[in-house]
Amino acid sequence: MTWLALLPLLGLPSAALVVIGPALRLYAMLSVVWSGFRLIDVVGEFFENQASATETKFDDLVVPLIRKTLKVLVGIFGIIYIASSFDLEIAPLLTGLGIGGVGFAFAAKDTLENFFGSITVILDRPFQVGDWVTIGDVEGTVEELGLRSVRVRTFYNSLVTIPTANLVRAAVDNYGRRKYRRWNTHLAILYETPPETVEAFCEGVRQLIREHPYTRKDYYQVWLHRFGPSSIDVLVYMFFEAPDWTTELRERHRLMLDIMRVARTVGVEFAYPTTTTYLQRGTPYDAEEAAREQRPPAAAELRARRDGRDAARTVTADARWRTKRPEAYRFTGAGDPLDGEHEGEGESQVESRVGGDAG
């Protein structure tokens, strides 16, 4: 603009002004467009810093997209202004492109799809910057949303660019939106553990879940679940209310250490796969004796059955469910009346009592 103002003072010949004048005007217009780009960058960086200080991630997604959109608009208006300044008719130029209009439309098809895909992502908000997502075969953390593509940083630290048009049809699995993170495991303990000790251990694990700060308190399951090949297995089915994977790992680490401490306190030992081999000296095979052993007397078989039924009746003789059938189990809270009153109406997991009594 300084050159344009001082150019008449130089007294250059007309032939030189014909070349220098338009060149200086073009350079000044391009400088204005470039200054607009830089101004958008300055304002955009300011709002990006403001957005990073807020808890919500929506502004982190929108500010870069608006920044790029404004640059495109400044560029379009700059081209139109330059063309009008040099008396270039835009309408005849666009009309002249009518022959190649079909080809241009096909060429711009993907660009338009990506643009509307970006608008769809902003309106639908299936993810935010920083979310852990799975889009098709790509899994990672969203770093940036642009007008044409989404950039995802994978766990291999590679950067994958996904066209936003694919997001309109693709299934997006957003792990970052999880409120709870499930942990499902079995605690294997020795078969020699007394039933009362198993009961104490299960209740101790439940209490740990109630006490830890990042555990879900309104739903968890801790029960003696199955008889394994070399252990009896206690099911632990619970959830962590953690904002990210690292916090989940830290809190699981703390809970598992406390479970080990509770097991040591109540006298529970964890089992591991073992194999016991018995060696027996061989004896001559007697077919008649083997047949007699395989066919026990009918009276002995009936007596064995009667003994088994008597044992079951003895174990369950004092069970409260003999007089009142327990209601269906309902998890309604963290408190647990250990006095055994109000069968089936406890506020938490009511453990089995003497004789297999369970609420």
Angle between helices 195-211 and 245-266 (to 10 degrees): 150
pLDDT of the residue at 150: 85
pLDDT at 132: 84
What is the pLDDT, as a whole number, of residue 333? 58
pLDDT at 346: 41
The pLDDT, as a whole number, for residue 351 is: 42
User: What angle, rounded to 10 degrees, do the helices at 58-85 and 101-124 form?
Assistant: 150
Q: Locate the domains of the chain by residue range.
A: 181-266
Nearest 5°: CA angle at 44, between 39 and 46? 100
User: Coil, strand or helix: which one is 139?
Assistant: strand
Of all helices (H) and strands (E), which one includes residue 276? none
Q: Could you give the CA distance from residue 220 to residue 341 in angstroms, rounded to a whole number?
A: 22
Residues (pLDDT < 50) of the chain are 341-348, 350-359
Residue 341's pLDDT is 46
Report the pLDDT value the prediction gives residue 182, as an integer from 0 to 100. Answer: 92
| Pair type for strands 149-154 and 138-145 | antiparallel
Cα 224 from chain centroid (whole Å)? 29
pLDDT at 245: 81
Contacts with 155 (C-beta within 8 Å, 6 or more apart), sequence order: 139, 140
Sign of CA dihedral 202, 205, 207, 210: negative
Residue 317 identity: A
pLDDT in tens, 208-232: 998 888 999 888 999 999 999 889 9
221: helix, strand or coil: strand
Compute the distance between CA of residue 187 and CA of residue 180 in angstroms, rounded to an integer.
22
Q: Cα separations (Å) of 12 from 2, 4, 9, 223?
A: 16, 13, 8, 97
Q: In this predicted structure, what is the pLDDT of residue 355? A: 42
Domain 181-266 top-level CATH class: alpha beta
The helices-and-strands tally (H runs, E runs) of the chain is 10, 8
186 touches 233 (CB < 8 A): yes
Residue type, 333: G
The secondary structure element, H or E, covering residue 311 is helix 298-315
Q: Annotate 93-135 with three-state secondary structure.
A: HHHHCCCCHHHHHHHHHHHHHHHHHHHHHHHHCCCCCCCEEEE
Q: Using alpha carbons only, what angle is made at residue 131 by residues 126 and 135, rounded to the nearest 5 degrees?
A: 60
